[in-house]
Amino acid sequence: MSRRSLLAGCFAALYMASTFTATAAAETTIELTVGTEPVESITTQLGARVSGAESGDDVWLVTKPTGGERCATNPQADRGNSISEDLVSTEGGTFTSSHNYNYEKAGAYLLCGWVTRGSGENVLAHAETTLSVRLPHLALSVSAPASVAIEQAFQLVTTAQAETSRAAWEYLLPNTGDGCPANAAAADSASAAEEVFGDWQVVGGPVSQTRNESLASPGAYLVCAYFEYPGRESPPELAASAPLVVLAPPPPCVVPSLVSHASLASVEQSIQAASCTVGKVSHAASTTVPRGDVISLGQTSGAKLAHGAAIAILVSAGRPCIVPYVKRSTGLKKAERQLAGADCTAAISYVRSRRVPRDRVVGLGVRAYTRLSPRARVRLLVSSGRGRG
């Protein structure tokens, strides 16, 4: 073999060796790993599977929200933008490394990874992936009565459930028609707001909390409850509300005055207008109050009673029937007029009589001058003659 051929062979061998070394270096790979279903504020694992690394090589991980800058060309250029950085030195070969990390907010994130040698700018391998961090499973409800009276005790029942530790706040405040304030901090600063509970730590559940309340002012109110993380100034992760109306006390029954010649219908209207109700209606004879007009009420005029109190009414049935003196043998028509003039009603009965002519009065079934109820029926005995019964 000539000297020239030998040199050519050596150069070829050196070239092949250098090419093999470059190929081996290019075979360094990194694959990023993310724990199953990352959840806000719950520890998850971020990591990498690396192959083809040498002792002293470094693995870098950076995570940041999506929507901004993508992963940089090397970790040194990305450090200022990262939320979190992890630096791992390897012993070479193939290995897997993972690191615990808590995302403080749910959303979409970008995970960047590099394998470097010598310095952070000498990148052997790079990878990136996106991941979604969800909110923890939460449940929150508030139960309140639809309406209560002033100073009436009532219960607020709040039921909560949380996949991880969460703080809940609840406030009772006037209902302005705009719904609950934006968060617990805004509710706390609202006019006339009352804290029902604050910083209630909920883990697991469902669990309930009960609070007894009473309100001294009438109006519409709103109960507002919030799950907020990491503090009460944060936007709510979940909110619940319940409306409540505090009713003003009903007005008392003030017994109305009774005017003369007042009809039953007008008195009933005045009783109802005075926040009272019509009680028992009775009738009695009266020599001074016309028939159908009200004689008196069961309560003193101007008296204050409970709302809706029943007021009895006494109505005139007219003048009493005072049985007149009817002479024997008086004609039937005249006797009927005498009874009607005395506010009595004739009840005619025919009887046989040998001494009193037919269709003339034999007598009355009631003694004269007896006082009876108005329009009472008075038996009028009339002769049917000798042959009629």
Give pLDDT, residue 56: 86
Residue 150 CB neighbours (<10 A): 14
Residue 375 lies in a domain: yes
| Residue owning tokens 């007008």 | 266
Give pLDDT, residue 387: 61
Residue 388 lies in a domain: no
Same domain, 146 and 233: yes
Nearest to 135 by CA among 240, 239, 237: 237
Residue numbers of the domain that contains 362: 321-383
Of the candidates 213, 247, 281, which is a domain's last residue?
A: 247
Q: Are 178 and 187 in contact (CB under 8 A)?
A: no
Q: What percent of the chain has pLDDT over 70?
A: 90
Tokens, residue 85: 């950085």
Residue 3 reports pLDDT greater than 60:
no
Of the candidates 247, 264, 288, which is a domain's last residue?
A: 247
Same domain, 19 and 115: yes
Residue 16 reports pLDDT greater than 50:
no
pLDDT classification of 7: cutoffs 50, 70, 90: very low
The DSSP bridge partners found for residue 305 are 253
Residue 360 DSSP one-character state: B
Residue 95 lies in a domain: yes
Nearest to 210 by CA among 219, 191, 223, 220: 223
DSSP state string for 114-153? EEESSSTTSEEEEEEEEEEEBPPPEEEEEE--SEEETT--
Q: What is the pLDDT of residues 258-286, one digit of tens each?
A: 998 899 999 999 999 999 999 999 999 99
Residue 209 lies in a domain: yes
Residue 242 reports pLDDT greater than 60:
yes
Model pTM score: 0.61
* Mean pLDDT confidence for 351-378: 93
Q: What percent of the chain has pLDDT over 90?
A: 79
Q: What is the CATH number of the domain that holds 339?
A: 3.30.10.20
Same domain, 18 and 119: yes
Q: Are 271 and 309 in contact (CB under 8 A)?
A: no
Q: Are 123 and 59 in contact (CB under 8 A)?
A: no
Residue 389 lies in a domain: no
CA distance 339 to 333: 10
CA distance 73 to 55: 22
Better-predicted residue by pLDDT, 79 or 123: 123
Average pLDDT, the chain: 89
Can you tell me whether residue 59 is helix, strand or coil?
strand
Same domain, 148 and 226: yes
Q: What is the pLDDT of residues 44-90, one digit of tens each?
A: 999 999 999 988 888 999 999 999 889 999 988 887 665 555 667 77
Q: What is the CATH number of the domain that holds 230?
A: 2.60.40.2550
Same domain, 181 and 274: no
Residue 4 reports pLDDT greater than 70:
no
Nearest to 308 by CA among 264, 272, 280: 272
Amino acid (1-letter code) at residue 50: V
Of the candidates 247, 277, 294, which is a domain's last residue?
A: 247
Residue 323 CB neighbours (<10 A): 20
CA distance 60 to 47: 10
Residue 179 reports pLDDT greater than 80:
yes
Q: How many H helices and E strands in the chain?
A: 5, 21
Same domain, 28 and 124: yes
Residue 339 lies in a domain: yes
The set of long-range contacts for 44-48, using a CB threshold of 8 Å and a minimum separation of 24, is: 44/100, 44/101, 44/102, 44/103, 44/133, 45/98, 45/99, 45/100, 45/101, 46/86, 46/98, 46/99, 46/101, 46/111, 47/96, 47/97, 47/98, 47/99, 48/96, 48/97, 48/113, 48/127
Q: What is the pLDDT of residues 22-45, one digit of tens each?
A: 444 558 999 999 999 999 999 999
Q: Residue 144 to residues 141, 149, 218, 253, 284: CA-CA distances in angstroms?
A: 10, 13, 16, 31, 52
> What is the number of structural domains in the chain?
4
pLDDT classification of 240: cutoffs 50, 70, 90: very high
Question: Which are the contacts of 36, defined by CB distance < 8 A and separation ≥ 6?
Answer: none
Give pLDDT, residue 17: 37
Give pLDDT, residue 84: 56
Same domain, 129 and 143: no
Same domain, 72 and 182: no
Residue 5 reports pLDDT greater than 80:
no
pLDDT classification of 21: cutoffs 50, 70, 90: very low
Q: Residue 215 to residues 149, 196, 200, 221, 315: CA-CA distances in angstroms?
A: 8, 13, 23, 10, 45
Question: Which are the contacts of 367, defined by CB distance < 8 A and separation ≥ 6?
Answer: 323
Which of the residue ranges 19-23, 84-88, 360-364, 383-387 would you say has the lowest mean pLDDT?
19-23
